[in-house]
Structures are given as C-alpha cells and as structure tokens.
Amino acid sequence: MALRTVPVRIRNGNKVLTVNALLDDGSTRSCINADVAAELGILTGDQQTLAVGTMRGATRKFKTERVSLIIESLDERTSDRIDVYTTTNVTGNLPAVNWRDISGEWMHSKNIPFSKPNGRRNVDMLIGLDYAMLHLALRKVRGKPGEPIARLTP
C-alpha cells in the first residue's frame, strides 16, 4: 500500500470539485476521468489520439481530449493551471488510500495531519511528470526500513 494518493481541488471557473489524485512518477502525462471533467463543466477540448505504454511493454492508443483546469491544494497554498487528458477510467478501480485511518500503525506517522480523501471512493485523476513540481517532496517523514515514507507535496 505505497501509493501516493492525495485529495486535490480542481476548478473550472466557479465550479470546484475535490477529487482523489495519484501522484504517478512513472507517467509522462496527466489524465482525468472524462465524467469528472464533464461534472466540472469542461465539455470539449483539443481532440487527440494518445499512445500509452504499459508496464508489460504493450502500447494502447485511445482517443482523448486535452482539457485545461486549475488544480489546487486543499489548503489553497498551491494553485496551477494544468492541461490533462480525458479518459474513461484513468486508474481502473484503484481506491484512494485513507492515510488518516491507517497512519497510527506506524510510530513515525501517528501525528501527521493527513488529509482525508474526498467522498469519491476511487482515484479520478493521475498527475504525471508533465507536472513534476507537484511531485516535489517539501518534507519527508520516514520510519524503520520497510515502513511507509510520508511526503508533504505541494
């Protein structure tokens, strides 16, 4: 359970949603579920065909739209306009990790004020290395070997 899932705010004009995002430093592009983009009021974007390589070496092509939105941290200290690609189900059925509920299992993470995932059960957005600054570790807290590392990111 070492996935870096975080709740983030996304904005289009006056419409704001909180979604669960995966910080994926193995991806070169950022994506969002198309139904979430539609809920945010982003109905169309630049249509493209995107080729995606998988861990097993296969390549999958799919039609997508590149859309623009504002991404914000929950504390509103970070806010950036980003372009993301829409897809049907960006992370499959990957659930958001509720680090707040399980942080007490490790001594080094007991007092970290983790943000609670939003009400959506799954991850709806993938933040790739096209926005590497959002992956930046501002602070790290680690425990013993084999225990998770907590990273404060923008």
Rounded distance, CA 104 to CA 84, Å?
35
Those residues of the chain that have pLDDT short of 70 are: 1-2, 43, 53-55
Cα gap 30→71, rounded to integer Å: 12
User: What pLDDT score was predicted for residue 1?
Assistant: 44
CB 151 within 8 Å of CB 142: no
Q: pLDDT value at position 109?
A: 87
Rg (alpha carbons) of the chain, rounded to whole number: 16
> CA-to-CA distance for 33 and 30, rounded, in angstroms?
11
| Per-residue model confidence (pLDDT) at position 123 | 93
Q: What's this model's pTM, rounded to 2 decimal places? A: 0.86
